Amino acid sequence: MSIELRHLRCFLAIADTLSVTRAAERLHLTQPAVSRTLRRLEQELGVRLVDRSTHHLALTPDGAAFRDRAAVAVAAFDRALGFAHHPGWPLRLGHAWSAAGTDTTALLRRWHKEHPGTPLELLRVDDRTAGLARGEVDAALLRGDVHTPGLVTEQLTTEPRVAGLPADDPLAHRAALSLAELADRTIALNTVSGTTTLDLWPASARPSSTITIGNTDDWLAAVTGGRAVGVTTSATAEMHPHPSMAYVPLTDAPPVPVVIAWRDEPGHPHIPDLVALAREVMGVRQVRHVPQHV
């Protein structure tokens, strides 16, 4: 048996849902058919992709590694077919949160004006590489250090860090804060695509209470709901104003680099144009004042 596209699509549906039942519903197949397809793929690869030993399915380390490669292969196939029917091949730009900050509109409008025949699609993907490593986008705007193999990055700018607090918090009206003043609070950590970890604090003064969330929307809800406080960048303050939210500059937290990234392989022919435009639009950004209440 040789591996076919249907085997990859079946595995990706299982990987995304972590459920044979939900994967079958997504693919409009029966559960036995999905199980057989997965089993045949594992037999052909000679590795176990899914751990079925618990009540909940989980990817094995081999499965997690293969998921990204399978996603790239399926995305490339779909793009090849789509190109045959759409002469204006869209350029997909991913981001996990806040896109290009307040430069987002300028970036999109400049692109539309200068490259009217190639649509630029801005896609939010809650993933450390905003879908780039998995082939869901052609390029991505990312924050923090990027060490994913196979990606090329260029730093565009940096963003100062700010504390995110409920608007009625005792510290919300301060002109600035230090990390130490947040150490006795519960910290909301976005472990999927965020840049804040406990390593931001000195080892001897790290917060002892955290909650884990997976995207910016949940981070905002945790803070405005009074469950936690957080640390983010000025772009979040610019792109996600909220009447129940206060953003206060941090005096001793290092800035966060903002990079544009793309895969180190043949890709969309307009990636160099996008990199050049992003460099022009975002590279001249000055550090802006971050209002406490926005």
Please give the helix or strand (H or E) that residue 42 lies within, else none. Answer: helix 31-45
The tens digit of pLDDT for each residue in 249-287 reads 999 999 999 999 998 876 788 999 999 999 999 985 444
Hey, what's the torsion of the CAs at 73, 146, 220, 201, to 10 degrees? 150
Of 29-38, 140-149, 154-163, least confident by mean pLDDT is: 29-38
User: Domain boundaries in the chain?
Assistant: 5-83, 89-157+256-282, 159-249
**Confidence check: pLDDT of 245 > 50:** yes
Torsion sign across C-alpha atoms 211, 217, 223, 226: negative
What is the β-pairing status of strands 120-124 and 91-95?
A: parallel
**Mean pLDDT across 120-127:** 93
Q: Residue 127 has what pLDDT?
A: 87
Which pLDDT score, from 0 to 100, does residue 255 have? Answer: 96
- The residue-averaged pLDDT of 153-177 equals 96
User: How far apart, in whole angstroms, are the C-alpha atoms of residue 161 and residue 145?
Assistant: 15
Answer yes or no: is pLDDT of 294 > 80.
Answer: no
**What torsion do the CA atoms of 70, 72, 78, 83 make, to the nearest 10 degrees?**
-160
pLDDT > 80? residue 293: no
**Residue 120 pLDDT:** 96
DSSP H or E run through 187: strand 186-190
Mean pLDDT score of the chain, rounded to an integer? 88
Label residue 291 by pLDDT band (50, 70, 90): very low
Instruction: Indicate if the pLDDT at residue 161 is higher than 80.
Output: yes
Residue 39 has pLDDT above 80, yes or no: yes
The percentage of residues in the chain with a pLDDT greater than 70, rounded to a whole number, is 91
CATH of domain 159-249: 3.40.190.10
Task: For residue 88, name the pLDDT band (cuts at 50, 70, 90).
Answer: low
Question: Which is higher by pLDDT, 31 or 175?
Answer: 175
Predicted local confidence at residue 289, as pLDDT = 38
Report the DSSP pairing between strands 50-51 and 58-59: antiparallel
**According to the CATH classification, is domain 89-157+256-282 in 3.40.190.10?**
yes
- The 151-159 sheet, strands edge to edge: 120-124, 91-95, 139-143, 256-263, 151-159
Q: Same CATH fold, 89-157+256-282 and 5-83?
A: no
- In this predicted structure, the answer to whether residue 17 has a pLDDT above a threshold of 90 is no
Tell me, what's the pLDDT at 292? Answer: 44
Q: Are 129 and 146 in contact, with CB atoms under 8 Å apart?
A: yes
CATH topology of domain 5-83: Arc Repressor Mutant, subunit A (1.10.10)
